[in-house]
Amino acid sequence: MNRRHFLTAIGGLGLTGGSVLAVRGDFPNLFGESSSLPVRVETIDAPGSSAGEVTVPNAGSPTLIDLFATWCAPCKEQMDELSSVYEEYGDRVTFVSITNERLGDTLTERDIRGWWRRHHGAWAVGVDPNSDLMAALGAGGIPYHAIADASGTIRWQQAGLSTAETLRTELDRVLEAP
Amino acid sequence: MQRRTVLRAVSAAGVVGTAGCLGLGDSNPHVVLDEPDRDYASDELPYPAWGQRVPDVTLPDPISGDSFSTRSVEMPAVYTFFFSHCDTVCPVLIQSLRNVQTHAIEEEYADAVAFFPVTFDPERDDRERLETYAAEMNVALDAGNWHFLRPESVDRAKATVEEEFGVAFEKTRPEDMDTYMFVHAAMTYLVNADGYVERAYRTDTPDPERLIEDLRVVRNG
């Protein structure tokens, strides 16, 4: 059996589609490393964000976690959805957007700050170059969203573009939980 | 007795261990990394895997104008397979390599590793398109270690990417799009300086940290 025939035989196993969003969702950590929440993430100086560290999820309030990247086209659209939700929930929910892009000559902190400003970010934005947060959430792609309750337990997570309506529904569910 | 059968027998006897450290002749003089923990041997797989030679393929880099032969790279190399119009898996694969490239530049080993993303869409991925894509993905083309490889034709893409590297792809025509796309397997290879596969990461989300660590061991091996 040559390689091509074998591959045809295993067919659907390894093939991935090409017409959905820039995401693959809910994959287990394929390398078997244990990583768990919360994760400390470095934040950068940008509108609504200051240089330092945040703990994700935040303890004491619900947290909306947004995984993004500057090269990700749907992530730009996602910022509009997040911005409108932030206006309504920003006083009760901790918002944090994290990219796993590694900073260097071709992508600097200043570039992230510029992207953030262009897309009207107004909350904490951070970098996770080792993908610790992605691994802890089991996120296989971006955009990716998760909502944690005030105790830090993940109550909802979803791969792909999340509409403002969906985010409102899920945040309400967490905020209204006894 | 096949290796799989041996392992099963050993396992039944209560020996604790993994395929990589049982000491049953699983070492390979051509590679530095241990055999991955798995239930099968490389020669049972439909793609080049741990300890096997990288397929002997020569492909052009349309940006530099050079051609690269996989067995003549003479330094650790990372291969992945993509098409630039892909908006699902490929950006993640390319970004994983790009994150490793940035690490290599920052940690000053950029001249000790080569990156070869191979397109299987030569019809659209020409030099100009690949240059634009590199800029979008924040790839440092000027580092000199990143080479997009482009088979000269669709047939050549099939003959190399699918037949040699074992990465299946098939053209599709999504109803909601006015262009063609592909369904394809996701694969990233780490090949050592001698041209042997150290790791075949069969995942659409290769972990840059794992790649960086495996690459470090291979570079120092």
The pLDDT confidence band at residue A35, using thresholds 50, 70 and 90, is: low
| % chain B with pLDDT above 70 | 88
Tell me how many residue pairs between chain A and chain B have CB atoms under 8 A apart. Answer: 133
Q: Which of A162, A167, A164, A158 is nearest to A139 (CA)?
A: A158
Q: Tell me what pLDDT residue A28 has.
A: 38
DSSP 8-state secondary structure symbol assigned to residue A60:
S
Please state the domain extents for chain A. 39-176
* C-alpha count within 13 angstroms, C-beta hemisphere, residue A115: 25
Statement: A39-176 belongs to CATH 3.40.30.10: yes
Rg over alpha carbons for chain A, rounded to the nearest Å, is: 17
Distance from CA of A45 to the nearest CA of B (A): 21
Mutate to test the interface with A, among B101, B107, B138 (most CBs of A within 10 A): B138
> Shortest CB distance from A16 goes to which of B162, B204, B207?
B204
Q: Is there a contact between B33 and B70 (Cβ–Cβ < 8 Å)?
A: no
The pLDDT > 70 percentage for chain A reads 80
Helix/strand/coil for A2? coil
B45-61, pLDDT tens digit by residue? Answer: 999 999 999 999 999 99
The yes-or-no verdict on residue B172 having pLDDT over 50 is yes
Q: For residue B131, what is the enclosing H or E element?
A: helix B127-136
Contacting residues of A for B183, CB less than 8 Å apart: 15-18
**Domain layout of chain B by residue ranges:** 49-220
The answer to whether residue B18 neighbours chain A at the CB level (below 8 Å) is no
Average pLDDT score over residue span A118-146: 94
Task: Report the residue from A7, A21, A31 with minimal CB separation from B210.
Answer: A31
Point out the residue among A8, A131, A142 whose CB comes nearest to the CB of B209: A131
Instruction: Quickly state the pLDDT bin for A97 (edges 50, 70, 90).
Output: very high
Supply the DSSP string of B134-193, one letter for each residue. HHHTT--GGGS-B--B--SSHHHHIIIIITTT---EEEE--TT-SS-EEEEE--EEEE-T
The mean of the pLDDT values for chain A is 84
Which residue, among B177, B104, B195, B191, has the nearest Cα to B144 in the 3D structure?
A: B104
CB contact under 8 A, B103 and A135: no
pLDDT of residue B207: 87
d(CA A81, CA A68): 13
Distances (CA, A) of A141 to A36, A74, B90: 18, 12, 11
State yes or no: pLDDT of B149 exceeds 80.
yes
Mean pLDDT to the nearest integer, B143-164: 98
pLDDT digits (tens, 9 = 90+) for B17-49: 334 344 444 589 999 999 999 889 999 999 999
pLDDT digits (tens, 9 = 90+) for B81-102: 999 999 889 999 999 999 999 9
- Residues in chain A within 8 Å Cβ distance of B172: 17-19
Phi, psi at B166, each rounded to 5° = 70, 25
pLDDT digits (tens, 9 = 90+) for B188-202: 999 999 999 999 999
Give the count of beta carbons closer than 10 Å to the beta carbon of residue A177. 10
Average pLDDT over residues B164-187: 95
Look up residue B133 and give its DSSP letter: H
CA distance A85 to A82: 5
| Residues of A in Cβ contact (< 8 Å) with B139 | 106
pLDDT per residue over A152-170, tens digit each?
999 999 999 999 999 999 9
Q: What confidence score (pLDDT) does residue A13 get?
A: 33
Look at residue B177 and tell me whether its pLDDT is greater than 80: yes
Q: Where are the alpha helices (DSSP H) in A72-148?
A: 73-89, 109-118, 132-137
Segment A86-100 shows an average pLDDT of 97
CB atoms within 10 A of CB A75: 23
B203 touches chain A (CB under 8 A): yes
Beta bridge partners of residue A55, listed in sequence order = A40
SS3 string, B75-105, reads CCEEEEEECCCCCCCHHHHHHHHHHHHHHHH
* A67 Cβ under 8 Å from any chain B Cβ: no
Q: Residue A173: in which H helix or E strand, if any?
A: helix A164-176
Q: How far is B82 from chain A, CA to nearest CA, in Å?
A: 11
Percentage of the residues of chain B whose pLDDT score is greater than 90: 81
Helix (H) or strand (E) holding A157: strand A154-159
B72 falls in which pLDDT band (50, 70, 90)? very high
Record: contact A130-B209, CB cut-off 8 A: yes
Q: Is the ipTM of this complex over 0.90?
A: no
Contacts of B207 in chain A (CB under 8 A): 29-31, 33, 131, 135
Q: Span A172-176, mean pLDDT?
A: 97
- Taking the CA of residue B32 and the nearest CA in chain A, the distance in Å comes to 18
What is the average pLDDT across A88-99? Answer: 98
Task: Please answer yes or no on whether A18 and B103 come within 8 Å at the CB atom.
Answer: no
Q: How far is CA A2 from the centre of its chain?
A: 41
Average pLDDT score over chain B = 89
Q: Homologous superfamily of B49-220 in CATH?
A: Glutaredoxin (3.40.30.10)
